[in-house]
Structures are given as structure tokens and as C-alpha cells.
Structure 1
Amino acid sequence: MAVTISDIAQKAGVSLATVSRVLNDSGYVKEETREKVLKVIKELNYTPSAIARSLSKNKTNTVGVIVPEITNPFFGEVIKGITQVAEENGLNIILCDTDESKEKELKALKVLTEQRIQGIIITPTSAEDEFNSEYLKTLENMGIPIVLVDGNVKYTTFNGVFVDNIKGSYEATEALIKEGHRKIGIITGRMNSKPAKDRYLGYQKALLMNNIPLDDKYVFYGDYKESTSYNLTKNILKMDDRPTAIFVCSNMMTLGCLKALYEDRINIPNDIALVTFDRIEILNILGFNISYVNGPSVEMGKLGMQMLVDILNNKNKNEIRRITLLPDLVLKGSEKYGSDESDSIE
């Protein structure tokens, strides 16, 4: 049978209130009485209930983390950064995966409020351009700090950590241009999200700055999904005047693109050049030298969690902080124009 505080109070010869004050380290208790209660707690091997303590304090030492795709390695690294800082500060995490569903995201937000969490770190799924009144009302009425990571919510001023997607895409496209490419295709992300729009904007800017007209036939609208990118790449390979290079705007879409190229025995970069956004560690492990824009995902998680910790500790509580990190372009040869030094995926 589980030991209760009533058992402790009875054996120590004190009131339930005294035991509660000792357990919660609140209120005055004589040192002699405190030691007596602690001795009984140890003898009975009593473990306080985290749920009961949270009810008494009306909060927990837990924060919520909401991501749109837990299987995506990018978010795995973001979560890694979040977890490191959370552990350093004695915080637990409840992780929610929305599967890029606004309905699941709303449900996650409501469930987390019922768990009396202290704050939320979220990569929002809800489209930035859609005024989702229920979504905004849910966020604004929660009464707890919210930190955004790699995704904005329009009409709000939440704290957040972001990456400079325009700069990353500009540099990726410019690297292809410097190699001699003029027909550069792009597989975009979901265009109602700010990261996808900014990456497309960086691509457009690089073409403009190098006097290359934007050709709509080389723009392929994706949705961050591997299957969609696979189908789009298949369509690209059927084109009579296909691009000599492709810029793929997310890691999961890169996997779909590579699958299609592999099936058609396309050589990178002899047959087509490729640059992607976000590192895919498994490609590096397997020796595929694919050039990529490296977003500092672990650092984003760390900074987002530290930002939340600072707010919880009343540091910068009334200051809106929005940090934008700079990505790195890692060139590994797949951007070349018909290079003989290629890594065939045949």
C-alpha cells in the first residue's frame, strides 16, 4: 500500500499541514519538527506525487513542446537542444506532434493547458496568412509564456528564434549560378508558411541579382513532404527543357527528390546538380556529397528553451525577443556543372 502524508503525520506526531509545509518547503516549521518529519519520510520511503504537488502549487515544472513532424531530423535536433537546456534547469518536457494538422495543434494546446505547464515552445503549423481566430484566441488566453521556433504566427508578437531563410536560399542559388547554371529549378515548401516563402524569396533574389529571368516552369510547389517532392522530381525529369540544377527547400523533400533521381539512374552532378536546405546526417554517413544550407537546429532549440527559462525566472519578462540565426552553406560538389568529380547515385 502506498504511503500517504497522513501516515507520515501520524508516525511523526504532527499535523497534515506541518507535513505539507515540509514537503513543499513553504511556511514556518521548527527545525526540530522538520528533522523529525524528514526522518519519518525516509523511514517510510515516501515519494511525493508530482501530480499532487502540482495541484497544490497550481503549476508543474513541466513545459510543452509542439512540433509539426517529430520524424523529421531537423525537429529531432531542435528537440535535442531544447532538452539539454531543460535538464540543466530542472524542467520536464511534454512533447506533442501535430503531423502538420491545425486541428491536432489546437488539441495539443488545449491538452497542455490542462497539464498546468509553465510555458510552451512551438513550431506552428497554422498558416501565417490565415487569420485563425480560434488558434489565436487559444494562444492569447493561455496566460503562459510562448516561444516560437522556426515558424511565425501572424498578428502576434510572441518571443521566438528563427533562421535567416532568405540568406540561406540566396547563397544556395548563387552557388549554383557561380558554377554556370542558368536553368535552376526550385522545389518549394508549403507556400502558406513564412520559411517556405522566405526561401523562395531568396531564390528569386539570387536570380534577379545575377540578371537571370525567373521562369515559372522551373518553380515546383511542394509541401515539405517526401512523396510530393518525389512526384515533382519525376515531372522535372520528363521535361524537354529541364533545369540543369535543382534547389530543394527542405530535408524531407530532398529524400523524395533523391529517390526519384536514383530510380531514373541520374548522376549528380553530371546529369543534374543539387543543393538542399537543411543537413541530412544519413547522407553524410553514407558518403553522398550533397551540398546543403545548414540551419543551426540544435542551437535554435537551446536558445528557444533558454528564452523560455529566462521568462519563467522573470528575466526580460516584458521584453519581446526575436532572434534570427544565420545559416551556413556547405558545398560538397553536388552544385557543380557537369563535373567529372561526381557522386553517382546509380
Structure 2
Amino acid sequence: MAVTINDIAKEAGVSLATVSRVLNDSGYVKDETKKRILGVIEKHNYSPSAIARSLSKNITNTIGVILPDITNPFYGEIIRGISEIADKNNLNILLCDSNESAEKELKAIKALKDQRIRGLLLTPTSVDNDLNSDYSKAIYNSNIPTVLVDGYLRYSNFNSVLVDNLKGAFDATEALINAGHREIGILTGRMTSVHSKDRFKGYQKALMLNNIPINEDYIFYGDYTFNSGYMQAKEFLKLNPRPSSIFICSNQMTLGALKAFKEDGLDIPRDLSIITFDKIEILSALGLNISCVNGDSCEIGKLGMQILIDELNNSDGCKQRNVTLTPELMLLGSEKKF
């Protein structure tokens, strides 16, 4: 049977508070009493629960992380970056998956607050701007130091780490234009998302600056999921004539679209050229080199975690920090026109 702090106090003939002061090295305890308590602790090889010790101090060494889809490799890399910095600072991670639900996010924040987390890293779900004000207030009212990672909330001033989505989409579309394409389709993400809007604006900007008319028939609206990529790609394939290229605004939608293109017997890029937003490592391993805009999600996680630590330590005077990373355009051949 495990020895408890109550057992230690009883055998040493002292109060729980006295044992707690010895364990936490806080407050005065007579040398003789301290020696007696430590002797009992050593005798039973007693190790106090880290949770219990942190709760006694009303603070934990845990950082809450809420992401919209932990099965997505993009967010997996964010977790890897967060964990790397957390480990170096002896911090624990408590991870929640919101499944793109604002209600689940707020529920997770409440649960994490009950766990007395020190801070929060959050990728807010894509919600209409009309909801953002109340949503932001709910997060503010939690009184948890919060940094947004790859996320944006209107009406808020949280510290954040973002990717320049407009530039990434512009560069991707211009790469297709430079490869000789004039008919360029786009598969967008959920248009309630600022990310999606910026990527769509980047696509439009590249076309306009190159005097290419925007064809509404070439615009397909997805929701960042595999299934929407597959279904919208099926609709794209019905176009006659069909654009020679397509810019797909997320990795999961690209995987769904590739399934549809394969079922139709298309060869990439001989029959259709593609650039995607977000790198898809598994495709290279399978010998399919798809050009992409790489936002370096691992670096997003690292920077987000470091900014939160700085905020907790007040190391930069609590000045607001909003970091925007410039994504890398990786041309691997799938943008070429044949």
C-alpha cells in the first residue's frame, strides 16, 4: 500500500502543513523536526505527487494546447515544435482537439482552467466575424495567458504566430503562371476563415497583376477536409474545357483531390498541374512530388511556445508580439505545363 503525506505526518508526529513546508522547502521548520521528517520520507522512499505539489501552490507546470485537428500532419508538426521548447523549459503539455468546433474549444478552455494550467496555446476555429467578439471575450475572461498559433481572432490583441497566407497563395499562383498556365483553378478552404480569405486574395492578386481574368467557374469552395477535397475535385473534373492547373489551399484537401484525380486516370503534372498549401511529406515517400507552399509548422509551434514562456516570465515587458512567418515556395515539378 502506497505511503501518503498523511502517513508521513503521523509517523513524524507533525502536522500536514509542516510536512508540506519541508517538501516544498517553504516556511520555517526547526532543524530537528525537518531532520525527523526527512528520515521518515527516506525510510518509505516517499515521492510526492507532482500534481498534488503544484495544486498546493495553486499553479501547475502545465501548458494547455488546443488545436483543431491533431490527425492533420500540419498540426502534428506544430505539436512537435511546442514540445521541443516545452521540454527545454521543464514544462508539460496537455493537448485538446477541438475538431473545428468553437463550442468544444470553449469547453476545453474551461477544463484546462480547472487543471490550473500556466498558459494556453490556441489555434482558434474558423468562426464568422460576428461571433469573434463574444468568442474572444470568453477566452479573455478565462484569465489564462494565451498565444494564438497559426490563428487569428478579430477584436483581440492576443500574442500570435501566423503565416503570411496571402503571400504564400500569391507565390503559388504566380509560379503556375510562370510555368505557362493561364487557366488556373482554385480549391479554397472554409471562407469564414481569415486564412482562407487571405489565400483566395493571394490567388486573385496574382491573376490580376498578370492580366488574367478571374473565372468564377474555376473557383471551388472546400472546408479543409479530405472529403471536401475529393468532392470538389470531382466537380472540377466536370469542367469542359478544364483548367490546365489548380491551386489547392490545404494538405488534407490535396490528398482528397489526388484520390479523385487518380480515379479519373489523370497523370500529375502531364494532365493537370498542381500546387498545394502545406507540405505533404508522405507524397514524396510515395514518389509523387507535389509543389507546395511550406509554412514550417514546426517553427510555428516553437515560436508560439517561446512567446508564451516570455509572457509568463514577463521577459519583454508584456509588449504585444505578433510574428508573421514568410512561407517557402517549394517547386518540385508538379507546377509544370506539358
1:283-309: CA deviations, max 9, x gaps? 011111110111110010011011111
CA shift, 1:16, in A, is 2.6
Structure 1 length normalisation: TM-score?
0.94
CA contact (8 A) 1:275 1:335 kept: yes
Unaligned runs of 5+ in 2: none
List aligned pairs for 1:59-98, cutoff 5 A: 59-98=59-98
CA distance in 2, matches of 1:183, 1:287: 27
2:4 matched to which residue of 1?
Answer: 4
1:255 matched to which residue of 2?
Answer: 255
Range 213-222 or range 253-262, more displaced = 213-222
CA distance in 2, matches of 1:316, 1:214: 46
CA distance in 2, matches of 1:42, 1:285: 53
CA distance in 2, matches of 1:330, 1:318: 36
CA contact (8 A) 1:119 1:308 kept: yes
CA shift, 1:317, in A, is 4.8
CA shift, 1:334, in A, is 0.5
Range 99-108 or range 13-22, more displaced = 13-22
CA distance in 1, matches of 2:223, 2:130: 16
CA contact (8 A) 1:292 1:330 kept: yes
2:279 matched to which residue of 1?
Answer: 279
CA distance in 2, matches of 1:262, 1:32: 78
CA distance in 2, matches of 1:46, 1:161: 43
SS of residue in 2 equivalent to 1:94: strand
2:216 matched to which residue of 1?
Answer: 216
1:15-49: CA deviations, max 9, x gaps? 33221111122123345544443332222122212
SS of residue in 1 equivalent to 2:161: strand
CA distance in 1, matches of 2:246, 2:264: 15
Range 50-59 or range 165-174, more displaced = 50-59
CA distance in 1, matches of 2:309, 2:327: 25
CA contact (8 A) 1:63 1:120 kept: yes
CA distance in 1, matches of 2:328, 2:30: 59
CA distance in 1, matches of 2:145, 2:81: 19
SS of residue in 2 equivalent to 1:105: helix
2:264 matched to which residue of 1?
Answer: 264
- Classify 1:132/1:332 alpha carbon distance in 2 versus 1 (closer, same or farther; 3 Å): closer
CA distance in 1, matches of 2:6, 2:226: 57
CA shift, 1:140, in A, is 1.0
CA distance in 1, matches of 2:264, 2:181: 22
1:99-125: CA deviations, max 9, x gaps? 111121111111111111111100000
CA distance in 1, matches of 2:134, 2:209: 41
CA distance in 2, matches of 1:244, 1:155: 40
2:121 matched to which residue of 1?
Answer: 121
- Amino acid aligned to 1:62: T
* CA RMSD, Structure 1 to Structure 2 (Å): 1.5
2:330 matched to which residue of 1?
Answer: 330
- Amino acid aligned to 1:212: I
CA distance in 2, matches of 1:316, 1:81: 22
CA contact (8 A) 1:128 1:154 kept: no
The answer to whether 1:42 aligns with 2:37 is no
- Classify 1:126/1:179 alpha carbon distance in 2 versus 1 (closer, same or farther; 3 Å): closer
Instruction: Give the fraction of aligned pairs with identical amino acids, expressed as a percent.
Output: 61
CA contact (8 A) 2:133 2:154 kept: no
CA shift, 1:3, in A, is 1.4
- Amino acid aligned to 1:232: Q
The answer to whether 1:180 aligns with 2:176 is no
CA distance in 2, matches of 1:39, 1:295: 55
SS of residue in 2 equivalent to 1:131: helix
List aligned pairs for 1:90-169, cutoff 5 A: 90-127=90-127, 129-169=129-169
- Classify 1:288/1:35 alpha carbon distance in 2 versus 1 (closer, same or farther; 3 Å): farther
Structure 2 length normalisation: TM-score?
0.96
CA contact (8 A) 1:63 1:92 kept: yes
The answer to whether 1:20 aligns with 2:15 is no
CA shift, 1:137, in A, is 2.7
CA distance in 2, matches of 1:256, 1:38: 61
Range 6-15 or range 277-286, more displaced = 6-15
1:344 matched to which residue of 2?
Answer: none
1:243-278: CA deviations, max 9, x gaps? 100000000000011000000010111111000010
- Amino acid aligned to 2:25: D
CA distance in 2, matches of 1:290, 1:126: 27
CA contact (8 A) 2:254 2:276 kept: yes
1:110-147: CA deviations, max 9, x gaps? 11111111111000004152334542232111112000
